[in-house]
Structure formats: structure tokens, C-alpha cells
């Protein structure tokens, strides 16, 4: 055995630290322990303990949870290493001080019947700082958009742009197109009416005034669905149709007029919609209900809202034909006459007349996370999954592809019980755990793809009015999620007093949600009860997170040996 003197060891450690402090910090631990002839440091040699210590090496896939019980009371042979680390602030990062008893000490915070699960993870090391039932499944609601965001950016790339094209199957002669005009959708989730104007202007410059053939729409790139989730309200604007050719979030403005008789109109004009009156006590809250879809016509039942007549949104059921009709109406205003649009299963061969390129995917993802838009999530999720599996018959099949890609990139996380019915989280059948969402968040952090796209507390998106005190603003960057009897929050927690942490907290009442899903129709009483639960659950969630944001209590230095030898605990 090689025996080193104390001065020789110290000199060697200090020299090696200048070469590679990461390797030294861990490779010398067994060597130092083996130097039995070296006397233990005296009290004068020991380093005065800072709050805590973490060496920022590349984190392993598994997570280590360090507790005071894991720390030995033995003499400290790592004084030189600690001294070097303390002298170089780049290697000093105290642990976040969070207790494990948030729920147990505050049971009155939670609504009756609610289950709470959470996990907080040190992002640099992957260590679990605190957790409570972190492996329990919950309905993720819109926090499922975190999975969509990460995998869309990975599979499509942050600079990906969706294209909307105009093609022609023949020449333009004397202002007349001798063939068909095709409006081809590329899945742009933010395509808006102003984006159509440059396409129409390009047609006018050819010049084009009419066509001899057909006006075709091609929305065959992605599955075409009349709604995102059948169990959700069909009249809800957040549950619109899906298609590769979508416009204005596939919703129109519905207006009641001010006359005595019931009269409604849509803006833009929705040719597919027919309206009939029904007593308001037979309709869900809001006074609108889809009766049927027959032969391309959607029949809506409405109640006269009297003095409460106002504007609201109505979802479109055939997104592609709606976009084609709006395009034709705008073209007419520019002196270009087009016949009514017809759908084609696949574009015939043609030459490109004009193209609109959407914003970079990174910006779309930010808007999706800030405003929690379901249509944006579904379209970018479908486009991402299509890069892996070209034929996608449904949203559920597409979401399965995304889960499979997550499993490939995070093999140490258990995905056995995970389920996603779609990309937006608009389903009470989807299931994720705090551990799974925390792993997604850490993956997004390590790949520099997510943190700056999330809403900031007290400032932006869905967190504008949450955690907005001066000492809390900008310390939480996270995605909210909410359904009746479900509320979630997952993202990043920042502070000058500790390293960055990922956190996920999920509160739900599975029994109450099942009863709600089993109702034959929604009622005002049921909605009021659900809203009271949501208010109480969000209050409980806010108080738990605010306790995490409190200034941490200093911990004693626990030693590199104790930290590296602690029992393994995975972030699932």
C-alpha cells in the first residue's frame, strides 16, 4: 500500500484541483480513506462549514436523496478538497432547504377527498430534495403540454416552420387559371386571417381574376377530427376541430343581436352552422349545445339569453372547409372570383404560386405554454409524432408515439402506468406522475429548450396573477394545468440562495372526477361545486409552493463522502 504524508497529500490534491477538480472530487475519496497513516486533521485544520455543498458534475440518470442521517460523524479527511471548493465560488452551491412535512402539517389546506403528490428535484445533480407520493398517478390536465413541448422541439427542431401553400395545376392566361387552384395546409396552428392576405395579393400580381377549374383544399397531411376530446363539451371553444388546414384557432365569434326575437350570426361567416332555439333550462351553462352534425351541417341549439345577449366563441367542426370559405370570401374582396371550396384527398401535381411560412416552432411552443392553447398543442404534437410514424389515425396513437420517444430518452424513468390520450391534456383518462413530469422538466433544462418558454410568476401567461409578490415574482417558471377536480403546476424554482430546482405538484380527487364524468349533462350546480373545489385546491397549492419559496435554513456541511455514498433513489 502506498502511504503518503499529510503535506504530500495536500500538495497533490491542490495541484490536481487545478488540472481537473471534477475528477479529483470523486476519484480521491477511496484513496484518502485508504491513507491510514495520515493523521486526522485537527480542529484548526477543519474548514468552517458553509450551509451545504454540491459539486456540479454531470448528473447521473438516477437520483440521490441525502439526509442528515446519512452523514457520518467520522473525522473529516476531505478538508483540502472543501477548502479548494470554498475558495472557488464556481463550485459552491448550497442545497435547497425544504421540509418533507408540508402536507402532514397543513391538512386543512386541502379540499375533502383531495390527494396531493409532489416532488422537488435539484436540477444540477438530479437529487430529490423532497417528495410526497411522487409516484402516484394523477390526471395531468394541461401539464401534459410539457411533454408535447419537449418532444416537438426535439423531433422537429426549434426553427421548424409550418408552410401553407397555394398551387395551380395549369397556366394563368389573361387573368384566368386554366386548371385547379389548391390551398394546401401544412398544420400551422397559428394561421390567422391576416396571413391569408399576402397569399391573395400574390395571386392578384400574376394577375389572376378567376379559375376555370376547381378551388380545392388539401388538409390530408394530418388526421381530420371534429373535436379534440369527445367527453368534453362540444360547444367549448377550447375543444375545436383538428386538421392540417386550421384558421383562427378553428373558432368563430357567435353574436346574439339586440332585437326581441332570437337571432344569431357568426364572424367570420360559418357556412356549416345552423341554429335553432331551445329553452335555456334544457341546455348546459352558456346556453349553447350541439344537436347533431348531418351532411356537413352542424345544428346548434341556443337559448335566448335576454339581457345577457353577448359575444362568445363557437368551435368550428370542419376546419379545412371553413378556412377555404374564408379564403374565397377574402379573394372576392380583392377582385378574384373562386368557386366554393372542395376537399381533395391528396393534392394533384401543380406548381407553387405562393407560400406562407409560419413563425419558428420555438415561438409557437412559448405561446402554447403561456396561453395553454389546446389546438396549438395538438397540431405541433401531431407534426412531431409524424416524423416517427407517418400514418397516425388518431390523437391517442400520436400521443403514444410521444410517450415512446420519451421512454427512449429517459430509460431510467418508469413509464408503465403513463397514458396520454392527446397532446393538450384535454382528457380525464390521461395519467402521469410527478416523477415523470419532473424527469421531463429536467430533460428540458439539460437541453436548454424549456425554461425561457414557460410563464414567469407575477409576469406572464397563466402565472401573471400567481406568486406575484415582489419576493416571489420571476422565481417560478412553470406550466399550469386545470380541469374540474384536477389542478397541477410543474416547472422551475429559482433563488439566489440555492441551485435551480424542478418541481411538480398535482392535486386531484379521482372519485369526484369520476362522478362528474358520469353526469348525463352538465348543470350549473355541478359546475359551481367544481369551481369551489378548484379555488380551494389552488389555494392549497399556492401555500405549499410559497413555503418552498421561503428563505432556506442553513444546513451543516455534510461532506462529499456522505453525499456520494448516500442510497440511490431514482427520479421517475
The pLDDT tens digits for 356-395 are 999 999 999 999 999 999 999 999 999 999 999 999 999 9
Which residues, in sequence order, are bridge partners of residue 490? 479, 504
Please give the Cα distance from 567 to 275 (Å, whole number).
Answer: 65
**pLDDT > 50? residue 441:** yes
Give the C-alpha separation, 444 to 483, whole Å. 25
Place of cell 355541478: 526
Q: How far apart are CA 430 and CA 41, in angstroms?
A: 57
Cell of 344: 381533395
| Residues written for the chain | 572
Residue 213: pLDDT band by 50, 70, 90 thresholds? very high
* pLDDT of residue 40 exceeding 80: no
CA distance linking residue 444 with residue 346, whole number of Å: 37
Q: Is the peptide bond before 269 cis (omega within 30 degrees of 0)?
A: no
Is the model's pLDDT at 113 over the cut of 50?
yes
Q: What is the pTM of this model?
A: 0.79
- Classify strands 215-218 and 342-343 as parallel, antiparallel or unpaired: parallel
Phi-psi region of 474 (alpha: psi -120 to 50; beta: other; left: phi over 0): left
Kindly report which listed range (3-12, 193-202, 225-234) carries the lowest average pLDDT score: 3-12
Burial of 134 (0-12, 13-18, 19+ CB in 10 A): buried
Q: How far apart are CA 94 and CA 87, in angstroms?
A: 14
Strand-pairing partners, residue 351, are 168
Query: What pLDDT is recorded for position 48?
Result: 33
Please give the pLDDT value at position 34.
Answer: 42
How confident is the model at residue 38, as a pLDDT?
39
Beta strands in 28-85 (DSSP E): none
Instruction: Please check the confidence at residue 46 and state whether its pLDDT lies above 80.
Output: no
With b for 16 or more beta-carbon neighbours within 10 A and e for fewer, the 325-360 pattern comes to bbbbebbeeeebebeebeebeebeebeebbebebee
Least confident piece of the model among 88-97, 396-405, 552-561: 552-561
Task: Give me the mean pLDDT over the 147-173 stretch.
Answer: 97
With helix as H, strand as E and coil as C, how does 75-124 read?
A: CCCCHHHHHHHHHCHHHCCCCCCCCCCHHHHCHHHCCCCCEEEEEEEECC
Q: Give residue 322's pLDDT.
A: 97
pLDDT band of residue 98 (cuts 50, 70, 90) is low
Provide the pLDDT for residue 92.
37
pLDDT at 551: 57
What is the structure's pLDDT at 261? 63
- pLDDT of 258 reads 56
| Res. 548 pLDDT band, cuts 50 70 90 | confident
Q: Which residue has the higher pLDDT, 69 or 523?
A: 523
pLDDT exceeds cutoff 50 at 332: yes
When pLDDT is averaged across residues 112-117 and rounded to a whole number, the result is 91
Q: How far is CA 327 from the centre of its chain?
A: 32
Residue identified by cell 372576392 is 332
Asked whether the bond before 207 is cis by omega within 30 degrees of 0, the reply is yes
pLDDT of 325 higher than 90: yes
d(CA 275, CA 256): 12
Burial 262-296 (b: 16+ CB within 10 A, else e): bebebebebbbbebeebeeeebbebbbbbeeeeee
Tell me what pLDDT residue 67 has: 39
d(CA 287, CA 488): 29
Grid coordinates in use for 384?
412531431
Q: How many CB atoms lie within 10 A of CB 61?
A: 12
Rank 52-61, 90-99, 196-205, 546-555 by mean pLDDT and report only the highest.
196-205
pLDDT score at 37: 41
Model confidence at 349, in pLDDT bands (50, 70, 90)?
Answer: confident
pLDDT band, very low/low/confident/very high, at 138 (cuts 50, 70, 90): very high
467: left (phi over 0), alpha (psi -120 to 50) or beta: left
Closest alpha carbon to 183 in 207, 211, 225, 152 = 211
Which range, of 73-82, 138-147, 175-184, averages the lowest pLDDT?
73-82
- The partner residues of 357 in beta bridges, in order of sequence, read 163
pLDDT in tens, 243-286: 999 999 999 998 766 565 667 888 999 999 998 888 878 888 87
Give the percent of the chain with pLDDT over 90: 62
Angstrom CA distances, 219 to 67, 321, 413, stand at: 56, 9, 37
- Residue 559 CA from chain centroid, whole number: 37
pLDDT at 475 (0 to 100): 93
Amino acid at each position: 500500500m502506498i502511504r503518503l504524508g499529510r503535506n504530500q497529500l495536500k500538495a497533490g490534491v491542490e495541484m490536481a484541483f487545478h488540472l481537473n477538480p471534477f475528477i479529483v472530487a470523486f476519484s480521491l475519496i477511496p484513496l484518502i480513506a485508504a491513507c491510514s497513516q495520515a493523521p486526522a486533521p485537527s480542529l484548526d485544520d477543519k474548514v468552517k462549514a458553509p450551509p451545504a455543498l454540491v459539486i456540479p458534475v454531470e448528473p447521473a440518470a438516477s437520483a440521490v436523496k441525502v439526509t442528515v442521517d446519512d452523514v457520518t460523524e467520522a473525522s473529516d479527511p476531505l478538508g483540502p478538497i472543501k477548502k479548494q471548493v470554498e475558495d472557488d465560488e464556481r463550485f459552491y452551491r448550497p442545497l435547497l432547504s425544504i421540509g418533507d412535512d408540508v402536507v402532514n402539517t397543513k391538512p386543512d389546506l386541502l379540499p375533502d377527498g383531495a390527494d396531493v403528490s409532489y416532488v422537488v428535484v435539484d436540477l444540477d445533480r438530479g437529487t430529490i430534495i423532497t417528495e410526497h407520493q411522487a409516484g402516484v398517478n394523477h390526471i395531468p390536465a394541461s401539464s401534459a403540454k410539457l411533454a408535447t413541448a419537449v418532444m416537438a422541439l426535439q423531433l422537429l427542431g426549434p426553427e421548424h416552420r409550418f408552410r401553407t401553400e397555394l398551387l395551380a395545376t395549369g397556366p394563368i392566361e389573361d387573368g384566368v387559371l386554366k386548371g385547379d387552384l389548391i390551398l394546401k395546409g401544412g398544420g400551422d396552428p397559428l394561421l390567422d386571417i391576416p396571413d391569408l392576405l399576402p397569399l391573395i395579393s400574390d395571386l392578384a400580381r400574376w394577375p389572376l381574376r378567376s379559375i376555370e377549374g376547381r378551388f380545392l383544399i388539401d388538409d390530408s397531411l394530418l388526421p381530420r377530427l371534429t373535436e379534440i376530446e369527445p367527453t368534453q363539451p362540444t360547444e367549448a371553444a377550447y375543444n375545436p376541430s383538428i386538421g392540417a388546414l386550421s384558421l383562427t384557432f378553428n373558432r368563430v365569434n357567435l353574436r346574439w343581436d339586440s332585437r326581441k326575437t332570437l337571432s344569431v350570426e357568426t364572424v367570420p361567416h360559418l357556412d356549416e352552422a345552423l341554429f335553432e332555439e331551445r329553452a335555456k333550462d334544457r341546455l348546459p351553462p352558456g346556453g349553447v349545445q350541439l344537436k347533431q352534425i348531418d351532411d356537413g351541417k352542424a345544428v346548434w341549439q341556443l337559448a335566448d339569453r335576454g339581457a345577457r345577449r353577448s359575444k362568445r366563441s363557437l368551435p368550428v367542426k370542419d376546419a379545412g372547409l371553413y378556412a377555404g370559405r374564408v379564403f374565397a370570401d377574402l379573394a372576392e374582396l380583392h377582385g378574384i372570383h373562386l368557386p366554393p371550396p372542395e376537399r381533395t384527398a391528396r393534392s394533384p401535381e401543380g406548381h407553387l404560386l405562393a407560400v406562407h411560412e409560419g413563425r419558428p416552432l420555438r415561438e409557437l411552443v412559448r405561446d402554447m405554454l403561456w396561453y395553454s392553447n389546446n389546438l396549438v398543442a395538438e397540431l405541433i404534437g401531431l407534426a412531431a409524432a409524424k416524423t416517427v410514424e407517418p400514418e397516425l389515425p388518431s390523437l391517442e396513437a400520436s400521443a403514444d408515439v410521444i410517450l415512446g420517444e420519451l421512454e427512449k430518452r429517459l430509460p431510467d424513468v418508469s413509464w408503465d402506468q403513463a397514458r396520454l390520450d392527446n397532446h393538450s391534456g384535454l382528457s380525464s383518462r390521461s395519467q402521469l406522475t410527478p416523477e415523470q413530469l419532473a424527469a421531463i422538466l429536467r430533460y428540458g433544462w439539460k437541453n436548454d429548450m424549456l425554461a425561457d418558454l414557460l410563464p414567469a410568476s407575477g409576469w406572464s401567461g397563466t402565472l401573471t396573477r400567481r406568486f406575484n409578490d415582489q419576493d416571489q415574482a420571476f422565481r417560478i417558471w412553470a406550466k399550469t394545468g386545470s380541469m374540474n377536480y384536477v389542478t397541477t403546476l410543474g416547472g422551475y424554482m429559482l433563488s439566489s440562495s440555492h441551485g435551480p430546482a424542478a418541481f411538480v405538484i398535482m392535486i386531484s380527487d379521482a372519485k369526484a372526477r369520476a362522478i362528474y364524468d358520469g353526469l348525463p349533462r352538465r348543470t350549473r350546480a355541478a359546475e359551481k361545486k367544481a369551481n369551489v373545489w378548484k379555488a380551494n385546491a389552488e389555494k392549497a397549492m399556492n401555500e405549499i409552493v410559497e413555503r418552498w419559496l421561503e428563505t432556506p435554513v442553513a444546513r451543516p456541511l455534510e461532506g462529499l463522502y456522505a453525499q456520494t455514498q448516500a442510497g440511490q433513489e431514482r427520479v421517475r
